[in-house]
Homo-oligomer: A and B are copies of this chain.
Amino acid sequence: MTSQAMPSPAAAGDPLIDSYRRVRTQTEALAETLAVEDMVVQSMPDVSPTKWHLGHTSWFFEFSILAGFADYRVFDPDFEYLHNSYYNSIGPQYPRPRRGLLTRPTVAEVHRYRRHVDEQLIRHLEQGDLDEAGRALVELGMHHEQQHQELLLMDIKHVLFQNPLYPAFRERQRSSSESPAELSWSDFSGGEHRIGADLGGAFIYDNEAPRHRVLLEPYRLANRLISNGEYLDFIRDGGYGEANLWLSDGWALVQAEGWRAPLYWVERDDEWFEFTLAGLEPLDPAAPVSHVSLYEADAYASWAGARLATEAEWEVAAARQAPDGNYLDLDCLRPLPESRPGLRQLYGDAWEWTRSAYQPYPGFRPAPGALGEYNGKFMCNQMVLRGGCCFTPEGHTRATYRNFYYPHQRWIVTGIRLAADGR
């Protein structure tokens, strides 16, 4: 990064600059093993091409911060339209399902765009041009970029999976085939608890606020994520053919799509394989099952005589632990078996579907302006997931973090943790 060529003593100690550089570099590192061809394709409307992620995350800094400086020279005026994701307040957007039709800007041009934004932003930071609100936007932009690091990996996995050659994103870095710990329950008492977080402290997204009271009945959580082997038992017991286990919309989808296993499972000659970022591999029965929809998670729980947790149940349990786990920084790029005793895997490995619809907390108010579109307008039809996954950058998630997806979506690294009513 050429910005290293112009260090500013004044800002040398500004930790925001270091963090900014780290996040931006990490994004580019993720694309390093990819061919240019890989970075262009959009395999379904939910997916964005890698080069779009690289551009859009830069655009976020440009429109929300740099564009506010009177002397800012826009890199390319057409980029606003091309890289705006869903901010109607900013302007119209190139249609999302057509992102894979854009061959230009090329990957090299997008990298030039990134350098341009980095230079400008770091210069302003070094010069101390940003007030607190501006610095908060930089921080938001970094968290935003971390989200796109995870999306980039989810998306490229889906892109590579379309290819019958099953190309690898990266050679397998590390592996583990320990047996998972035996499934057991942790009990939690009911009563009044507090969840959520208030704005104004450490960084949170607006959808985590405000912190508020909830009433819980006594409940139990399983000690770890459900494994591939356990999920295979569900399949072999006819789970995908037993209507009574399924939510109505889920059953309709199973029929319409012919689902009979998680998204990346491939059956060949009666043996199951799983597509991973290291290519197609024999299914590891010890590893957590992943890439299941909410419907599959819910049906599995019904089959097992249990249920999914609510997001409040999950948070109350998770708040007692440090948010450590198998994240992107471990470089495994896959959920790992957990053999240790105790309540584990709340963080990392796989996002846990909850039975909670994604709705505003009492007293929630979206921010004014474009940033108000960040979270609030999606509070309908989606379900909350908690805890992060093996593609999530370390430090990005926390106990109060609310992720959300539609119940049918499976290209996320999702997993299943069982819950039950307590006594």
A residues at B contact (CB < 8 Å): 35-41, 43, 51, 78, 81-82, 86, 88-89, 94, 98, 100-107, 159-160, 162-165, 167, 192, 212-217, 243-244, 246-251, 294-295, 298, 355-357, 359-360, 362-363, 372-373, 377-381, 383, 407, 421
Quick one: closest B residue to A50, CB to CB? B103
Contact A107 B37 (CB under 8 A): yes
Given A244-B89, A246-B377, answer yes or no on A37-B103 (Cβ-Cβ < 8 Å).
Answer: yes
Quick one: closest B residue to A156, CB to CB? B103
Which residues of the partner chain B approach A41 to less than 8 Å between Cβ atoms?
40-41, 100-103
The CA-CA distance from A288 to B159 in the complex, in Å, is 41
Contact A38 B355 (CB under 8 A): no
A-B contact pairs, 26 of them (CB 8 A): A35-B103, A35-B104, A37-B51, A37-B103, A37-B104, A41-B41, A41-B100, A78-B164, A101-B159, A101-B162, A101-B163, A102-B163, A103-B160, A105-B165, A192-B215, A244-B372, A247-B377, A247-B378, A248-B378, A249-B381, A250-B380, A251-B377, A295-B380, A298-B380, A355-B359, A355-B360
Quick one: closest B residue to A167, CB to CB? B104
When all copies of this chain in the complex are counted, the total is 4
Quick one: closest B residue to A108, CB to CB? B35
The CA-CA distance from A124 to B297 in the complex, in Å, is 44
The CA-CA distance from A198 to B294 in the complex, in Å, is 29
The CA-CA distance from A372 to B36 in the complex, in Å, is 38
User: Taking chain A's interface residues, is the majority helix, strand, or loop, or is none over half, making it mixed?
Assistant: mixed
Which residues of the partner chain B approach A81 to less than 8 Å between Cβ atoms?
164
The CA-CA distance from A40 to B163 in the complex, in Å, is 13
Which residues of the partner chain B approach A101 to less than 8 Å between Cβ atoms?
41, 43, 159, 162-163
Smallest CB-CB A-B distances: 5 pairs: A357-B357, A88-B243, A101-B162, A37-B103, A38-B103
Which residues of the partner chain B approach A377 to less than 8 Å between Cβ atoms?
246-248, 251
The CA-CA distance from A215 to B193 in the complex, in Å, is 11
9 new A-B contacts, CB < 8 A, other than A246-B377, A247-B380, are A35-B104, A40-B103, A41-B41, A86-B248, A89-B243, A102-B163, A103-B163, A250-B380, A362-B421
Contact A407 B381 (CB under 8 A): yes
Contact A94 B164 (CB under 8 A): yes
Which residues of the partner chain B approach A104 to less than 8 Å between Cβ atoms?
35, 37-38, 163, 165, 167
Which residues of the partner chain B approach A36 to less than 8 Å between Cβ atoms?
36-37, 106
Given A37-B40, A40-B37, A244-B373, answer yes or no on A363-B100 (Cβ-Cβ < 8 Å).
Answer: no
Quick one: closest B residue to A43, CB to CB? B101
The CA-CA distance from A375 to B98 in the complex, in Å, is 33
Quick one: closest B residue to A159, CB to CB? B103
CB distance from A369 to the nearest CB of B (A): 9
The CA-CA distance from A323 to B13 in the complex, in Å, is 67
The CA-CA distance from A78 to B360 in the complex, in Å, is 48
CB distance from A82 to the nearest CB of B (A): 7
CB distance from A91 to the nearest CB of B (A): 11
The CA-CA distance from A200 to B202 in the complex, in Å, is 49
Contact B380 A294 (CB under 8 A): yes
The CA-CA distance from A161 to B100 in the complex, in Å, is 13
Contact B247 A379 (CB under 8 A): yes
Which residues of the partner chain B approach A357 to less than 8 Å between Cβ atoms?
357, 359
Quick one: closest B residue to A421, CB to CB? B363
The CA-CA distance from A127 to B243 in the complex, in Å, is 37
Which residues of the partner chain B approach A39 to less than 8 Å between Cβ atoms?
37
- Which of B217, B251, B379 lies in contact with A362, CB distance below 8 A? B217
CB distance from A132 to the nearest CB of B (A): 25
